[in-house]
Amino acid sequence: MNLVLQGVGECAARLQRIAALTAPKNVVTVSDNALRCEGISFTPALRQTIEIAAQAAQLDATYMMGVRRLDEFKLVAMDMDSTLITIECIDEIADMQGLKPQVSEITEAAMRGELDFSESLKRRVALLEGLEASALERVYEERLRLSMGAEDMLKAVQAAGLKTLLVSGGFTFFTERLKTRLGLDFTRANELEIVDGKLTGKVIGEIVDATVKRDTVEHVCAAIGILPEQAIVMGDGANDLKMMGISGMSVAFRAKPVVREQANVALNFVGLDGILNLLAH
């Protein structure tokens, strides 16, 4: 069993301190901010000790069998809101209406898995009825920011020949702009209905919920001739679990507890480019 430890900033001393707890047969320097402890004796008690110590040291700790390679994978599929980007777009749109607290409350409950996603989206979008569609452009220009490490991660996987999919319970207004900006291969999201320059409070067509997200990943895999096990899937909320569950590597990024518990990898401190330290390339 191997353990990859990684952090941000000046973290060499912290990495060495936590690595020593594992009594590894070998320690490999993966990058300036990551170590791979090889041949550790895995026990539940040791894992608990490491996880507590790593959390206190603000390091991400990922257990892996052997060394995995980037070329094992052919697709990176990502959720958008709070994964590829730092915001929840619908919450920021609602802020333009003075309704952010009400919408954010529904968003949080849905992401924790306490509400059905489709129903929660309908309720949130309904609150936006009458809003000028120009508010969407303002959110994109003024508030939308890529998550830490997103561009470096994408450049690396694209250079390695992997395809990219952005699959979101958010909106096509944002996914299509990000597709062009970042050179993504595939996108899938919800389309807001706009009439006479204003939001109607409705979504056009099928709502992209957890099942549709999973089906989209499967469809793209089939279209490019690969198995879902050759996909890396990243997300943060409960509606990402189904698509994460069919992947070869599931990555919980700044995720809700229910997602961290079920993912292969949890990145709580490092950026999205943290996956590169897990994969030889």
Residues designated as active site: 79, 81
Number of neighbouring beta carbons within 10 Å of residue 132: 14
Amino acid at position 1, single letter: M
**101 to 66, 106, 138: CA distances (angstroms):** 46, 9, 19
Residue pointed to by tokens 């941000």 = 8
Which one, of 110, 144, 131, 157, lies nearest residue 272 by Cα?
157
Task: Tell me the CB-side half-sphere exposure of residue 263, using CA atoms within 13 A.
Answer: 29
